[in-house]
Amino acid sequence: MVDSKTPAEWEVELGQQLRDLRLRQNIDQQRLAEQAGVALNVVKRLESGKGTTVTSLIKILRALGRVEWLNTLAPTVSISPLQLLHAKQPRRRASRSRGV
């Protein structure tokens, strides 16, 4: 599946989602900024889709109780079952039958 959104469109969408989450929790921007330990301007910029640092985003997600969102961005890497199938298996030899 190919997504045709631009980075700017993604920033706007993420900002809207964070704003909606903040409003559902009945927190104003100033209080969120204080809880996250960031400037009020950071919250405003993020919600308006104008970007911010990754550090600020993480602080805001923590303050909103949604740090688990980060796990969906960078899931733990594991070996896929297909890679296991293609992994080289050690060669096995049939044992000789004795006494035949």
Q: How confident is the model at residue 85 (pLDDT cuts 50, 70, 90)?
A: low
Distances (CA, A) of 39 to 23, 34, 44, 70: 18, 7, 9, 21
Quote the distance between the C-alpha of residue 20 and its chain's center. 18
Q: pLDDT over 70 for what percent of the chain?
A: 80
Q: How many whole angstroms separate alpha carbon 9 and alpha carbon 2? A: 15
Domain covering 7-75, topology: 434 Repressor (Amino-terminal Domain) (1.10.260)
- pLDDT (mean) for 55-69: 92
Mean pLDDT of 29-52: 95
Phi-psi region of 42 (alpha: psi -120 to 50; beta: other; left: phi over 0): alpha
Record the pTM: 0.69
pLDDT band at 88, cuts 50/70/90? low
The structure tokens 């903040």 sit at 22
